[in-house]
Structure 1
Amino acid sequence: MELASITPEHPFSEQDFEYTTLLPSYRVDLRNARNEQLNRFLNANVVSDWSQLSWKEIGRPFEVKKLAKERRDWEKEHEQDMPVKKSWEYFNRSFHNLFMQDVPAEQERLKSSLKDSFKGFHLHDIKQGLGEMARLSLWNYVHRIEDGIWDPRGKRALFEGLDVENPRILFLGAAEGYEAMQLHAMYPGGEVVMVDYDAFCKTDRFAHFPNTYPFLGTNPQTGAPKVWYKDQMNITYLVKDIRDLDFHKEFDIVLSVGLLEHVPDEHKPAILEWHRKFVKDDGYVIMTTPRNQMKSRIYYHVMADMMNHTYRELMDIRQMGLYAYENGLDIVRHGFIKVHNGIIARAR
């Protein structure tokens, strides 16, 4: 097996397979490099015939109603609903700040601050500090301990087995671009085009994604597992409204993560058409959305001030799949991973 050189920029190699550790901001997880336990990470085949499924049977998604204080304050000040683009700008900055935290150091800072507040009987500061501690503890568990946001093993299980070679990958609403980089590592040799209409996603969320983060993928020369890094990938990042893209049906994979659930039903056909519009006839559409489960409802309630700047729904996989099926997609694979639903589809 070809072994990568260890450098400060590329600290992990094929010698580190089955290794996992917690860094201050995220987990490194190089376990199960060969994806030999897919069913452990992806439960599929909930629906055998999508044409027989009805909304009456499965109900509509759960709408998250609790909004971030920043949004409520903005709307009170401006006496209008926050525009959609601005709500995304607020969300992206808030979410990015979570990813960039040195969590153990921040926990120690909050503990010290709370201790001082208790000594001085500063009730307002105590209440605020306890809220910050609860949010940070939940973020630490979901993102670092469980690795539920990036979920590399679950995402690889979802992406496994696609019939593509040197694929062109289009990521709609790309944010930091994690999932496209994971796909690019698994199916190397092609190109990733990331698109987001908030420039902050390119200049900060993507630009500050750690170059030292290892993606488990494939060595194109040998077919064996290989560790990849962001700076080894062929990525173009466009700051553009998806509606203004001038691509044609030229991508082998069109991907979105956490996009469909951010619009009410009347706009979902347009969202899904953006996927169909740019994928080749024999290409794949890949989508994920947060799962409707109790721990997800608790998460978005506790983390509201950090997460809930935009319209948001929680779906089960049947709801997500029915939206896709009714809007011209045939479901190839569907299921759920730690905190997300996942669908692989083809355009009809």
Structure 2
Amino acid sequence: MYPYTEEDFEYTELTPTYRADLRNATNQGLDKFINANLVSDWSQLTWKDVGKPYEVKNFSKDRLEWETEHQQTMPVKTSWEYFNKAFHELFITDVPVELSAKKKALKKSFKQFDFKEVKSGIGDLVQLSLWNYAHRIEDGVWDPRGKRALFERLDVKNPRILFLGAAEGYEAMQLHAMYPGGEVVMVDYDEFCKTDRFGKFPTTYPFLGSNPQTGSPKVWYKDQMNITYLVEDIRNLEFGKEFDIVLSVGLLEHVPDQHKPEILDMHRRFVKPNGYMIMTTPRNQFKSRMYYRVMAEIMNHTYRELMDIRQMGLYVYEHGFDIVRHGYIKVHNGIVARER
């Protein structure tokens, strides 16, 4: 039932849809995966020093066509529903099989001098090849070793973890594996995230964590975890300050500045005194800008910014959090903070 055990430590394998990575089970020497402590004193940093985030403005054709048809800006919830369905298709694609099929179709279009199909086929092939590199080869989307580096050394035991805007819930499952014995509550207002993005997350995916009895490394799987998934707008949650960790991944950058305080207040509202707020956002780097340009038809249905870690940290610091750890991993910025 479970394909990997502790005997498979230091092993990595490419499946048709993702990379299984069991390397560095003891989390030693992870500094090369996260470059922390770029800012020694956040109180001295200003927006004049760091500038504002880069806004991704090339929206998908689906969004533009919807707005033309309805003569209005696509509502935020609708844009997320479009994005979740499009993005999920990549996660469930058998990439080697689909790459082979697209190459054969492109070759056929060339032979038939069907240049419209050639143009479309090249675009599809480039997108899938980029996804293959980013997700399967580099493992930059889930980035288990980088995420473990960000999550290590938290002072928690049997933690309650709240994941805001959870999508498939990857990061909360990684946290739960590292700090087992507690509970995860995932929240997203798109039901598709519960039924498909999380519901169809591979039960064979191995999470490296710890054994609560021995403290030694252990392999965990989704169906071994204590997870509740709520379909709800996070603004309507009735929890109090009862979670040891409040987590969001790729949430802060999806709203312009006037709404960022509300996003940060949602974390503050639910975290225990001296609990942890953990956030990640996509990095503002050349390859990320190119990724969102090439993948626009799949990725760009929503408002989106790319930040550097100083910009992200300044939002967090200015809204009442002290930053415990900050840095960047392969394609994400990461911050661990506590309410000030």
**TM bin (shorter chain):** over 0.9
2:302 to 307, 310, 319: 310
Residue 272 (structure 1) shift: 0.2
Residue 76 (structure 1) shift: 1.0
What's 1:203 paired with?
Answer: 195
Residues 1:82 and 2:84 aligned together: no
What's 2:49 paired with?
Answer: 57
Residue 173 (structure 1) shift: 0.1
Which segment is superposed worse, 175-184 or 76-85? 76-85
1:108 to 100, 105, 113: 100
Q: Matched residues in 1 for 2:264 and 2:30: separation?
A: 27
What's 1:242 paired with?
Answer: 234
Q: Matched residues in 1 for 2:324 and 2:64: separation?
A: 41
- Could you list the per-position Cα deviations for residues 68-121 of structure 1 after superposition, in whole angstroms to 9, with x for gaps in the alignment? 111011111111110000000000000000000000000011011111111111
Which segment is superposed worse, 269-278 or 114-123? 114-123
Residues 1:166 and 2:158 aligned together: yes
Residue 24 (structure 1) shift: 0.3
Residues 1:175 and 2:167 aligned together: yes
Residues 1:18 and 2:14 aligned together: no
Residue 40 (structure 1) shift: 1.1
Unaligned stretches of 5+ residues in structure 1: 1-8
What's 1:48 paired with?
Answer: 40
Q: Alignment partner of 2:145: what SS?
A: helix
- Could you list the per-position Cα deviations for residues 166-194 of structure 1 after superposition, in whole angstroms to 9, with x for gaps in the alignment? 00000000000000000000000000000
Q: Matched residues in 2 for 1:21 and 1:217: separation?
A: 18
Q: Alignment partner of 2:215: what SS?
A: coil
Query: Size of the alignment, in residue pairs?
Result: 340
What's 1:66 paired with?
Answer: 58
- Could you list the per-position Cα deviations for residues 267-305 of structure 1 after superposition, in whole angstroms to 9, with x for gaps in the alignment? 000000000000001100000000000000000000000
Q: Matched residues in 2 for 1:41 and 1:17: separation?
A: 18
Normalized against structure 1, the TM-score is what? Answer: 0.97
Letter in 2 for 1:318: R
1:320 to 309, 312, 315: 312
2:262 to 248, 253, 270: 270
Q: Matched residues in 2 for 1:36 and 1:304: separation?
A: 37
Q: Matched residues in 2 for 1:107 and 1:52: separation?
A: 50
Residues 1:282 and 2:263 aligned together: no
What's 1:123 paired with?
Answer: 115
Normalized against structure 2, the TM-score is what? Answer: 1.00
Unaligned stretches of 5+ residues in structure 2: none
Letter in 2 for 1:152: P
Letter in 2 for 1:188: P
Which segment is superposed worse, 185-194 or 72-81? 72-81
Letter in 2 for 1:182: Q
Q: Alignment partner of 2:158: what SS?
A: coil
Q: Matched residues in 2 for 1:112 and 1:288: separation?
A: 39
Letter in 2 for 1:316: D
Letter in 2 for 1:210: P
Letter in 1 for 2:316: A
What's 1:221 paired with?
Answer: 213
Q: Alignment partner of 2:272: what SS?
A: strand
Q: Matched residues in 2 for 1:73 and 1:140: separation?
A: 28
Q: Alignment partner of 2:281: what SS?
A: strand
Residue 320 (structure 1) shift: 0.2
Letter in 1 for 2:27: N
Q: Matched residues in 2 for 1:37 and 1:306: separation?
A: 35
Q: Alignment partner of 1:331: what SS?
A: strand
Q: Alignment partner of 1:270: what SS?
A: helix
Residue 209 (structure 1) shift: 0.1
Q: CA RMSD in A?
A: 0.4
What's 1:192 paired with?
Answer: 184
Q: Alignment partner of 1:101: what SS?
A: coil
Letter in 2 for 1:163: D
What's 1:4 paired with?
Answer: none
Q: Matched residues in 1 for 2:113 and 2:69: separation?
A: 32
What's 2:204 paired with?
Answer: 212
Q: Alignment partner of 2:142: what SS?
A: coil
**Runs of 4+ that moved beyond 4 A:** none
1:140 to 116, 132, 135: 132
Q: Alignment partner of 2:167: what SS?
A: coil
- Could you list the per-position Cα deviations for residues 98-148 of structure 1 after superposition, in whole angstroms to 9, with x for gaps in the alignment? 000000000011011111111111111000000000000000000000000
